[in-house]
Amino acid sequence: MSTATPDPTVPPLDLEHPSAIEPGPVPLARRAFAEAIGTALLVAVVIGSGIMAVRLSPHEVGLQLLENSTATAFGLTVLILMFGPVSGAHFNPVVSLADWFLGRSQNTGLKARDLAAYIPAQIGGAIGGAVLANLMFALPAATASHTSRSSGHLWLGEIVATAGLVVLIFALVRTGRTALAPPAVGAYIGAAYWFTSSTSFANPAVTIGRAFTDTFAGIAPASVPGFIGAQIVGAVIGAALVTALYPGSSRTAAQ
């Protein structure tokens, strides 16, 4: 068995001062690049597994969703493990915004200049991931989706999914359990595919990227603003719950 040589520029996890999504003194350009690549791969997993599911299990929508959600849950877990030490593995503008907002009072989390780099990187990466997935399956590089997702019950599903995601991430950070973040976040998203009406996009960048594919995982461009609006509402609710339930930034569960 071999082990990889650790990157000396990436600090080890500090269990006394945990922060799963605050990666430490890594140059901003490298962190933004990691966010772009990680988000691209996440969207490629979501779209690519959806395409494969339809091809392998035609006319079996439930089985297609199972295949899509399983690949996404495992893929997200792996991507967080890969890119977490570099950028914090946000891959999600609302997570980055929540990190900035919740960290302001104690000077932790992302700074405004980090947000200005992270969010465009995430959106650009998501679009690139959609193009990559389309090309891998011999489809046009980009095609506007015709799958309409513009209904109130779907927006409510997005509010619930996004609020739960934000609470999960920052509960782990604020109770010193950041090592559990990769499997916990992957498991949550995999489960939320099934318990939310919207199949848990919970991510504005991924939502934009999925508008560029007319496949199983697509969303019509006209439906994107409603989903993003719901995700922002969910993030606000999630941040409020984190503030109420976990007011200390590094408090452990035992405390």
For 13-67, write each residue's pLDDT tens digit. 443 333 445 445 899 999 999 999 999 999 999 999 999 999 999 999 999 999 9
Half-sphere exposure in the Cβ direction for 241 (13 Å, CA):
17
The confidence score (pLDDT) of residue 249 equals: 58
CA–CA gap between residue 8 and residue 147 (Å, rounded): 46
The confidence score (pLDDT) of residue 254 equals: 33
Tokens representing residue 100 in the block: 């900035």
The confidence score (pLDDT) of residue 160 equals: 98
Closest CA to 233 of 98, 125, 143, 47: 98
pLDDT in tens, 69-87: 999 999 999 999 999 999 9
Could you identify the residue written with the tokens 């513009």? Answer: 150
Q: Quick check: 152 and 198 in contact, CB under 8 A?
A: no
Q: Which residue stretches of the chain have pLDDT < 70?
A: 1-24, 249-255
The confidence score (pLDDT) of residue 107 equals: 79
CA 179 to chain CA centroid, Å, is 17
